[in-house]
């Protein structure tokens, strides 16, 4: 049965006042998620928080739903406060040696640049692979790898251009060379389908405040079983011991770590945010991730048509691997920031990144939203 897209728009109060085409910055939180967070806060008062261990049981349901969305197992998933924190878990747990190398793509999100650059103090080099005219070449990427390459960092979709690297092909090449593959899925998970097994991903992070339409400070990481065998936690808490649920008799010795990714989480969690994310994951499952992927691709193609018709120049018109929900265009001779401000004044939410006007539709958008965008752009 096909989704009732028009009715689903009722879940998003922001649409009453805005044409919202800016999920790549913040995803609007649907009513079901807000209600889930509020229900948790109400329950704290109703129960005096005496049943707090039940919150972890409920969170495990969300953990399983997150795993299912990306083709993983529940024990592979750890909740995270943001993508940067999860990246620090990985980079901080690698035994770096002077001369080691990290490879990423040029114009990556700063998360994937800052920590690797800091490692330069220890003699670790960062290669930012150039993309001439925005073109990604798998051959050029493979040529950039050396016997000293230990880690590749990459986003599933580039935040400023919409580039969608072929991560399955990339993952296959890295697996052959025994190179760790870290992927930031914040700009696609919840919109585009992904399978961590098919892409041979070792570590995937998703801050859920964008395409997973959740509050900030909420997200999850996939940590592959083979990584968990050697990656030690960067923090230890009362939940580090495998029998942490026995709160009346907490272990006071060296903790025996659980085998799952839960060992990286630490203590108390952002339960309101986790339960809000759980409501979104349930919503996605009720629609189907495949249907959402198709819907977004259709809307993104229509957005490209609108930007072209209004004089925009799109990288995606000349290069492959731009089939993503982040649609960007340049308008020669136009101040892009002023253009975005004009759209904002007309209650159309978009963004500007690196000289590009960025339009990012999600499944709740419709053709009418894109018609309004076109009308304002053509009005000059």
Ordered DSSP codes for 240-305: SSTTTT-GGG---SS----SSGGGGS-SS--HHHHHHHHHHHHHHHHH-HHHHHHHHHHHHHHHHH
> How big is the CA angle at 87 (ends 184 and 77), to the nearest 5 degrees?
75
**Residue 333 has what DSSP assignment?**
T
What three-state secondary structure class fits 370? Answer: helix
pLDDT score at 30: 98
Q: What CA dihedral angle connects 220, 223, 229 and 235, to 10 degrees?
A: -30
* pLDDT single digits (tens) 306-318: 999 999 999 999 8
pLDDT value at 98 more than 80 = yes
Local confidence band at 365 (pLDDT 50, 70, 90 cut-offs):
very high
Tell me the average pLDDT across 118-134.
96
Q: Does domain 41-285 correspond to CATH entry 3.40.640.10?
A: yes
Tell me the average pLDDT across 108-118.
94
Same fold, 5-21+289-379 and 41-285: no
Local confidence band at 1 (pLDDT 50, 70, 90 cut-offs):
low
Local confidence band at 2 (pLDDT 50, 70, 90 cut-offs):
confident
Q: Which of 65, 165, 64 is nearest to 106 (CA)?
A: 165
Average pLDDT over all residues of the chain: 96
The pTM for the full model equals: 0.96
Tell me the average pLDDT across 289-299.
98
Domain ranges of the chain: 5-21+289-379, 41-285
Q: Which CATH code fits 5-21+289-379?
A: 3.90.1150.10
* pLDDT single digits (tens) 221-261: 999 999 999 999 999 999 999 999 999 999 999 999 999 99
């Amino acid at each position: 049965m096909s989704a009732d897209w028009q009715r689903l728009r009722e879940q998003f109060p922001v649409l009453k006042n805005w044409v919202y085409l800016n999920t790549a910055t913040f995803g609007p939180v649907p009513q079901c998620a807000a209600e889930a967070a509020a229900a948790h806060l109400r329950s704290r008062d109703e129960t005096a928080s005496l049943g707090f261990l039940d919150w972890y049981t409920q969170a495990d349901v969300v953990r399983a739903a997150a795993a299912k969305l990306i083709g993983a197992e529940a024990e592979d998933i750890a909740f995270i406060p943001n993508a940067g924190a999860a990246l620090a878990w990985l980079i901080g747990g690698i035994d770096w040696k002077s001369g080691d190398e990290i490879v990423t793509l040029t114009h990556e999100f700063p998360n994937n640049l800052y920590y690797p650059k800091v490692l330069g103090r220890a003699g670790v080099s960062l290669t930012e692979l150039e993309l001439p005219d925005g073109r990604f070449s798998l051959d050029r990427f493979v040529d950039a790898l050396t016997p000293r390459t230990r880690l590749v960092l990459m986003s599933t979709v580039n935040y400023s251009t919409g580039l969608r690297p072929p991560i399955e092909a990339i993952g296959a090449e890295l697996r052959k060379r025994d190179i760790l593959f870290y992927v930031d899925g914040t700009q696609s998970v919840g919109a585009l389908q992904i399978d961590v097994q098919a892409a041979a991903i070792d570590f995937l992070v998703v801050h859920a405040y964008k395409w997973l339409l959740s509050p900030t400070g909420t997200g999850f990481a996939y940590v592959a079983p083979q990584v968990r065998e050697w990656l030690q936690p960067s923090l230890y808490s009362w939940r580090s011991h495998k029998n942490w649920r026995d709160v009346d008799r907490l272990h006071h010795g060296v903790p025996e770590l659980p085998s799952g990714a839960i060992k990286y989480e630490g203590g108390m969690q952002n339960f309101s945010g986790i339960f809000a994310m759980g409501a979104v994951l349930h919503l996605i499952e009720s629609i189907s991730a495949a249907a959402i992927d198709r819907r977004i691709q259709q809307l993104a193609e229509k957005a490209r048509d609108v930007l072209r018709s209004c004089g925009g120049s799109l990288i995606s018109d000349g290069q492959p691997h731009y089939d993503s929900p982040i649609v960007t265009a340049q308008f020669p001779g136009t101040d892009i920031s002023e253009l975005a401000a004009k759209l904002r004044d007309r209650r159309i939410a978009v963004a500007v990144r690196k000289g590009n006007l960025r339009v990012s539709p999600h499944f709740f958008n419709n053709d009418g939203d894109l018609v309004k965008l076109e009308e304002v752009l053509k009005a000059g």
